[in-house]
């Protein structure tokens, strides 16, 4: 892909500023397709496709969580780790207000507001991850090591297997 073949989002600007090597992927976005849509189209295990999730604590404090595509966040466990009563996913409008990104195109890089970031510990053990580039239908491949260059985050263990 050449530079003109993919969108130049806030996320891409941040990665370029930090000299992070990434590989762009464009795919057919589908509402509610999630990480499975990309994983299926590119024959990549969904475990390597990382979701960027926006949550709020019971005190309305926002946070960003990175989780494997094939797992869910135990909000009870995350609330315990943070020492709050509860954590809930943000609705689309609220998530967009915090990040500046459209729902389904949220990247952890270049968010409108600086949010505390939590990363599922096992993500950092992977060789390469696929994460949203800041637009629906746009994923970038980077190394987990590069997350630490671009983001300040806390490692957590909150992954649970989703109910089918």
pLDDT band at 90 (very low <50, low <70, confident <90, very high): very high
Q: How do residues 96-116 score in pLDDT, each as one tens digit?
A: 999 999 999 999 999 999 999
Pull the structure tokens for residue 23: 């590989």
| C-alpha–C-alpha distance, residues 35 and 106, integer Å | 12
| C-alpha–C-alpha distance, residues 22 and 135, integer Å | 15
The correct answer on CATH 3.90.960.10 for the domain covering 9-14+25-159 is: yes
Give the contacts of 77 (CB within 8 A, at least 6 positions apart). 156, 157, 158, 160
Pull the structure tokens for residue 161: 């297997």
CB 158 within 8 A of CB 66: no
Strands 117-120 and 153-156: parallel
Phi and psi of 78, rounded to 5°? Answer: -65, -40
- State how far Cα 121 lies from the chain centre: 14
Q: Determine the pLDDT at residue 30.
A: 87
DSSP labels for 58-83? Answer: TT--EEEEEEETT-EE-HHHHHHHHT
Average of per-residue pLDDT values in the chain:
94
Give the whole-number percent of the chain exceeding pLDDT 70: 97
* 79 closest CA partner among 158, 162, 161: 158
């Amino acid at each position: 892909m050449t530079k003109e073949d993919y969108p130049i989002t806030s996320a891409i600007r941040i990665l370029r500023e930090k000299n992070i090597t990434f590989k762009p992927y464009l795919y057919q976005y589908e509402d509610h397709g999630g990480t499975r849509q990309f994983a299926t189209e590119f024959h990549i295990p969904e475990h390597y496709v990382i979701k960027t999730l926006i949550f709020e604590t019971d005190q309305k404090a926002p946070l960003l969580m990175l989780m494997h595509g094939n797992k869910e966040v135990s909000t009870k466990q995350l609330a315990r780790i943070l020492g709050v009563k509860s954590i809930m996913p943000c609705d689309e409008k609220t998530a967009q207000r915090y990040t500046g990104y459209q729902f389904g195109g949220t990247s952890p890089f270049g968010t409108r507001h600086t949010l505390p970031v939590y990363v599922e510990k096992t993500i950092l053990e992977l060789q390469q991850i696929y994460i949203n580039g800041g637009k629906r239908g746009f994923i970038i491949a980077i190394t987990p090591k590069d997350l630490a260059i671009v983001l300040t985050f806390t490692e957590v263990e909150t992954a649970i297997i989703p109910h089918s």
